Structure 1
Amino acid sequence: MKKAILLLVIAISGVVAVQAQQGGGGGFQRRTPEERLKMVKEKLVDLNLDKDQAPKSDSAFMDYFRAQDKIFEEMRAGGGAPDRDAIREKMMKLAGERDDKLKKIYTDDQYKKWKETIEPTTRPQRGGGGGGGGRGGNGGGNN
């Protein structure tokens, strides 16, 4: 019985170690632009895009995702601590450019639904460990 428990502990430890190495930081593995486009397209079904809108929308998102990847590549290549404010500013600019393209593709109602309902669901969700996302100071005052 002790051997079985020991083997189980070793197996679980091995699985945890492999997952930690594959994740590249907190179990998070960046998706390719194509994978991210697929995820967004699944959510855009509610917009009922027509045959002219769909490829234009795909193009706007692919441009956005590729530009995001380029920013992250530059950040990783730069070494040292990343300038979070500069990165945030670049990302906000990219999102603005994407939204300008989408405004030209979507109807007013479709764009409103994108901004209010769909876009918030496309943002990466952070796990519960650590900071508070910059809200509420140190996050310890809500007891």
Structure 2
Amino acid sequence: MKSKITLALAFFIASATSAFAQMQRMSTEERVKNVMEKLAPLNLTQDQQDKTKTVFTDFYNNQMKMMQEARESGQMPDRSAFEKLTASRDKELQTIMGKDLFKKFKDDIEPSMRPQRRNN
């Protein structure tokens, strides 16, 4: 009986580990949808929402392209290029949202968009 429980527990741990290891990255569309849900408290107009979707779609597509190029070359991604990409996104968002809403975005929403690091 004890060995069956141990075997079942080992199988469960192995299955869970395998499942977490195989988690897929979210597509650009899923990421944009997630961001737009987080932006809901800002009460953006429909025009602002449409423009913001475009900005984030372009941002995530460019980000994925940069990561893919880095993987293919076997080098680390260029941090300064990512920073320029983010600065460009922020400049466009500030134009769309205005100063006050953009500040709320940077202070309240953007921190929740960053990937959470797992302790290994």
Structure 1 vs Structure 2 CA RMSD: 1.8
2:65 counterpart letter in structure 1: K
Give the equivalent residue in structure 2 for 1:125.
Answer: 116
Give the equivalent residue in structure 1 for 2:2.
Answer: 2
Give the equivalent residue in structure 2 for 1:100.
Answer: 91
Cα distance change of structure 1 residues 118 and 5 upon mapping to structure 2, 3 Å threshold: same
Give the equivalent residue in structure 2 for 1:61.
Answer: 56
- CA deviation digits over 1:85-118, x for unaligned, max 9? xx21111111011011111111221111111111
Cα distance change of structure 1 residues 38 and 8 upon mapping to structure 2, 3 Å threshold: same
Matches within 5 A, 1:20-31: 21-23=21-23, 29-31=24-26
For 1:58 and 1:111, the matched residues in 2 are separated by 15
How many residues are treated as equivalent by the alignment? 120
The answer for unaligned runs of 5 or more in structure 1 is 24-28, 130-143
Give the equivalent residue in structure 1 for 2:105.
Answer: 114
- Structure with the bigger percentage of helix: 2
For 1:108 and 1:20, the matched residues in 2 are separated by 40
- CA deviation digits over 1:67-95, x for unaligned, max 9? 0000110011012x42x5xx211111110
2:118 counterpart letter in structure 1: G
**Taking structure 1 as the reference length, what is the TM-score of the superposition?**
0.75
2:109 counterpart letter in structure 1: I
**Taking structure 2 as the reference length, what is the TM-score of the superposition?**
0.88
For 1:13 and 1:119, the matched residues in 2 are separated by 34
Tell me which moved more, 38-47 or 2-11: 2-11
The answer for unaligned runs of 5 or more in structure 2 is none
- How far off its partner does 1:10 sit? 4.2
1:93 counterpart letter in structure 2: K
The one of the two structures with greater contact order (alpha-carbon pairs below 8 A, sep at least 6) is 2
